Amino acid sequence: MNDWLSVSLDAVELSLNVKTLEIQVCFSGITWKTDDKYAPKVQTQGGTTPFSAAERVSHEIKNTGLGTGILSSFAGLGGLSSMSFYTWVWIEKSSKDIIFEWIPVTEAKNIRLEKVLYPAPFEFNETDGYTALTFMQGVLLPNNWQKEFPKFPFGGQMCSEAAYMPWWGQVRGDSGYIAIVEQPWDAAMYVEHPAGGPTRAGISWLPSLGEMNYKRTVRLSFMPHCDYNDLCKQYRAYVKTTGLFTSLAEKAARVPLLEKLFGSAVIHLGIKSNTKPESRYYNAENPEKNHSLTSFSARAAQIKAVKAMGLQKAYLHLDGWGQPGYDNQHPDYLPPCEEAGGWKELVSLSQVCRESGYLFGLHDQYRDYYLDAETYDPQMAVHLADGTRYEHAIWAGGRQNYLCPSLQPKYVRRNFEELFQHGVLLDASYLDVFTCNEPDECAHPLHRVTRRECLYYRRMCFDYLLSQGILTSSEEAADWAMNALVFCHWAPYPSSDAGIPVPLFNLVYHDCIIIPWMLGKEQWGTPPGQLGFLHALLNGGIGYFNPECGEEEQKTQLEQVQAVGALHEKIGGLEMVRHEFLSDDKSLQRTTFADGTSVRVDFIQEQYEISAD
């Protein structure tokens, strides 16, 4: 008996095994098949149930005006008897992409659904293959990588540090595919790779406020000839069609001040720290280290000294400027620290930056909701489905919940209007964690928020700042924010266990966002033993300058940020068109930008060469 149903369109053939639910795709004579050991399934608190266990299953071939495919119906999944859904896997006529859709019909009753795993990952056993993962800046995971792949942060949730962009891809030989997740806010990546391989990569669909109440889609583009550069360019073309892609040139048209950020060094300084005893970071052995204070006027003197050294372009990012101290009592952070000089000296510092030709911005936070904030109200915190509030005491300010995302734009407006009224000259603002941490959902009946709505509210915060002529930044570089994010704190690489560092994010978005880099060695997010200065050049970013290090180190850093800045002024607004490894040990690398400029770095000799076409 033939257990396979098949459809074809031009050079693409799609087949479904009606017993095992394996999928096979043949594209230009190249075959990919899902792994039968990873059958599609539903996971609940009680365990997992494969789709194939459904009591009632049917399949039919359908042709539409958009393409052709196989529609499958599932009902009566073991203990999930009230749950029913469709899968619709089809070939799109216009693109020849394979589109996997999971379509809910009825919800499972009285059972907490945790995730749906569909489609299954492909078999991928070739020793010369690799998986491209958008984990932070990006990595290539060779199929024979000799380390176990680490756990993703935030449970692998997309729209976070776990996946700056909602896609992954696999390349074997010179062919491969990219899988693009079209509803990433309720999705999580999973990767299984034991030491030595092989790799299995797939997607978990998460409930939204406890329900799987809308269609979930993964789009697969197969390529007969490709490498990771081509995967990035395929995704770049895709986000241009969705409207997500927004170039720096477009953002500069909205806020012309952006032009001053090109080639600037980042100076990161603080005013007040105040670590509470309940914080994970409290130093009980040396309690005096839990508190520090530097006046606004002392920071102004440092800025003047840096200017005198010859640093022409810089941006001052100021932490801990509020009365409570760094990471304390948000969102009720005003007024500025009185012991450091209060409103008068904060305004004066902003004026010194303006007179020096430097940009000035403040660290701020609208997710962490501290229990000792002046206007704290437990009813305004994020509420879980069971009515409880998530609480922890990791950061300096101690016990906190999360602020409901629906309130974040209102608090941003409240606080910034007060800054404006007092004459603080703001060029930029840093809204912490928005582009690093996963999106939240809130089940409180007065302010229910889905993860997708959470991202909408975070973008509203950025849009408000842009409307006031303020450049926007956040912790990292998730692409859901590309419409409104100008720069970030960093967009580095994950740990060396995860694979070979490669700038996947910059290959898509270099001309949409400005990314600073730490210039030394052994910095967080920089591959072990490699000089961050060379990564800043290779990635066409800007660099950090530390005015508090020794005199000789300051001279070295000044030379480095000037070299990085000169390159960035030339190519900061251009597409990174290609990245290449020039040696087997990956120590020689080259990037090429849209004007023909290429940057070649040698991480062993710690040398670089910049050439123009």
> What pLDDT is stored for residue 82 in this prediction?
80
Q: What is the pLDDT of residues 94-116, one digit of tens each?
A: 999 999 999 999 887 777 889 99
Q: What is the pLDDT of residues 595-613, one digit of tens each?
A: 999 999 999 999 999 998 7
What burial class does residue 434 get, using C-beta atoms within 10 Å of its C-beta: 0-12 exposed, 13-18 middle, 19+ buried?
buried
> What pLDDT is stored for residue 46 in this prediction?
81
Beta-sheet strand order (sheet of 23-27) = 4-9, 12-17, 23-27, 30-33
Percentage with pLDDT > 70 across the chain: 100
Beta-sheet strand order (sheet of 471-474) = 265-270, 314-319, 359-364, 428-431, 471-474, 487-488
Nearest-angstrom CA–CA distance, 451 and 209 = 9
Q: What is the mean pLDDT of residues 153-160?
A: 97
Is 557 in a helix, a strand, or coil?
Answer: helix
Range from 39-48, 280-289, 345-354, 371-380 carrying the lowest mean pLDDT: 39-48
Range from 204-213, 340-349, 411-420 carrying the lowest mean pLDDT: 204-213
pLDDT exceeds cutoff 80 at 517: yes
Question: Sorting pLDDT into bands at 50, 70 and 90, what band is 338?
Answer: very high
Q: Report the candidate in 179, 197, 99 with the shortest Cα–Cα distance to residue 132.
A: 179
DSSP 524: T
Percentage with pLDDT > 90 across the chain: 92
pLDDT exceeds cutoff 90 at 447: yes
Q: Report the candidate in 362, 351, 259 with the shortest Cα–Cα distance to residue 303.
A: 351
> What pLDDT is stored for residue 608 in this prediction?
98
> What pLDDT is stored for residue 127 in this prediction?
86
Q: What is the pLDDT of residues 58-93, one digit of tens each?
A: 999 999 999 999 999 999 886 777 889 999 999 999
> What pLDDT is stored for residue 45 in this prediction?
82
> What pLDDT is stored for residue 1 in this prediction?
45
**Cα-based torsion angle of the residue sequence 11, 16, 20, 21 in order, rounded to the nearest 10 degrees:** 100
Q: What is the mean pLDDT of residues 318-347?
A: 98
> What pLDDT is stored for residue 80 in this prediction?
73
Question: Sorting pLDDT into bands at 50, 70 and 90, what band is 126?
Answer: confident
| 473, 429 Cβ separation under 8 angstroms | yes
pTM above 0.85, yes or no: yes
Nearest-angstrom CA–CA distance, 200 and 221 = 18
Q: What is the mean pLDDT of residues 337-357?
A: 98
> What pLDDT is stored for residue 110 in this prediction?
72
Nearest-angstrom CA–CA distance, 493 and 229 = 17
What domains appear along the chain, each with residue ranges and CATH number? 4-242 (2.70.98.10), 248-366+406-432+449-571 (3.20.20.80)
For residue 460, list its beta bridge partners: none
Q: What is the pLDDT of residues 13-39, one digit of tens each?
A: 999 999 999 999 999 899 999 999 999
How confident is the prediction for the chain on average, in pLDDT? 96
| Cα four-point dihedral sign 345, 347, 349, 355 | negative
Q: List own/partner pairs for 589-595 with CB under 8 A and 24 or more apart.
A: 589/538, 590/538, 591/503, 591/506, 591/538, 591/539, 591/540, 593/510, 593/540, 594/511, 595/570, 595/571
